[in-house]
Amino acid sequence: MRFALNVDHIATLRNARGEVQPDPVYAALLAEQAGVDGIVVHLREDRRHINERDVRLLRELITTKLDLEMAATEEIIKIACDVGPELATIVPERRQELTTEGGINVIDNYNLLKETIKELHKYEIEVSLFIEPEIEQIETSAELESDFIEIHTGKFANSLSEEEQFDELERIRLASRQAKKLGLGVNAGHGLNYQNIKLFRELPDIDEVSIGQAVIARAVFVGIPEAVKEMIRLLKTD
Ligand code: PXP
């Protein structure tokens, strides 16, 4: 299972005091040296953490893969096409939310997503749709000619009982299997951490996990390279 690190929260800390440190670009370079397979950033409409300078510098400097999380708005699509990340992950975005709260409904947003995917493909940017692990959402994502889906793992991560966690894992297992059958690449993320990844890593059809909070929080105490290596050890060893 590949591991892409989301460095948004390094920028959250920087912006808390309007300083230039800590720099999410430096964090991304350290993470690459420690072995991550990709860097994820979410350029939000309100620029609460990552800004355009970060995205453009990351594009120039990182050597793995840039996954730009974004809402399907005219302004951000234009920036994405100009910057050219390897992957654009389309997420729903609400100004008041603390973090992305769930997947985008690809059935309700069909026409908007069709246009967005067409535009990004023109610039040879692959597209991923952040969705709930539901079969109709997956089938519609394939119909929209998305390249990847990213399964929202928030419900799995926030389960209050083992039973609930097991049920949600099963839902993700079936959804990811169906996505693979339809030829989609399968990413997953939200709320994954050093504990729940031990169950999650057993899923055979997940290509990549996107993790931010848990690894950045750990990095505050042990540093980015060590926090990254600890996660890689969990993901890549039996
Ligand atoms: N994937 C998506 C689409 C997200 O919005 C986020 C949160 O920024 C993540 C993955 C990572 O979630 P977490 O920070 O909880 O690891």
Distances (CA, A) of 180 to 66, 149, 193, 197, 204: 22, 10, 24, 21, 10
Show the tokens assigned to 9: 């929260």
> What is the pLDDT, as a whole number, of residue 95?
66
- CA 9 to ligand 1: nearest atom: 14
**52: domain CATH number?**
3.20.20.70
The whole-angstrom separation of Cα 210 and Cα 197 is 11
State the distance from the centre of ligand 1 to the C-alpha of 75, rounded, in angstroms.
Answer: 22
Residue numbers annotated as active site = 42, 69, 190
> What is the pLDDT, as a whole number, of residue 184?
98
> What is the pLDDT, as a whole number, of residue 238?
61
Q: What string of pLDDT tens digits covers the 238 residues of the chain?
A: 999 999 999 999 999 998 899 999 999 999 999 999 999 999 999 999 999 999 999 999 999 999 999 999 999 999 999 999 999 999 997 767 777 678 999 999 999 999 999 999 999 999 999 999 999 999 999 999 999 999 999 999 999 999 999 999 999 999 999 999 999 999 999 999 999 999 999 999 999 999 999 999 999 999 999 999 999 999 987 6
119 CB contacts (<8 Å, ≥6 apart)? 77, 81
The whole-angstrom separation of Cα 88 and Cα 96 is 23
148 CB contacts (<8 Å, ≥6 apart)? 87, 89, 126, 127, 128, 129, 184, 185, 186, 187, 207
- CA 89 to ligand 1: nearest atom: 3
The whole-angstrom separation of Cα 179 and Cα 195 is 26
| 233-235-236-238 Cα dihedral, nearest 10 degrees | 90
Of the candidates 198, 203, 205, the residue with the CA atom closest to the CA atom of residue 231: 198
State the distance from the centre of ligand 1 to the C-alpha of 18, rounded, in angstroms.
Answer: 23
The domain in which residue 127 lies consists of 2-236
Q: What pTM did the predictor assign?
A: 0.96
State the distance from the centre of ligand 1 to the C-alpha of 189, rounded, in angstroms.
Answer: 6
Does ligand 1 come within 6 angstroms of the Cβ of 100?
A: yes
Does ligand 1 come within 6 angstroms of the Cβ of 154?
A: no
Q: Whose CA is nearest to atom 5 of ligand 1?
A: 100
Does ligand 1 come within 6 angstroms of the Cβ of 210?
A: yes
The amino acid that residue 51 corresponds to is N
State the distance from the centre of ligand 1 to the C-alpha of 108, rounded, in angstroms.
Answer: 22
Domain count, the chain: 1
Show the tokens assigned to 227: 């926090």
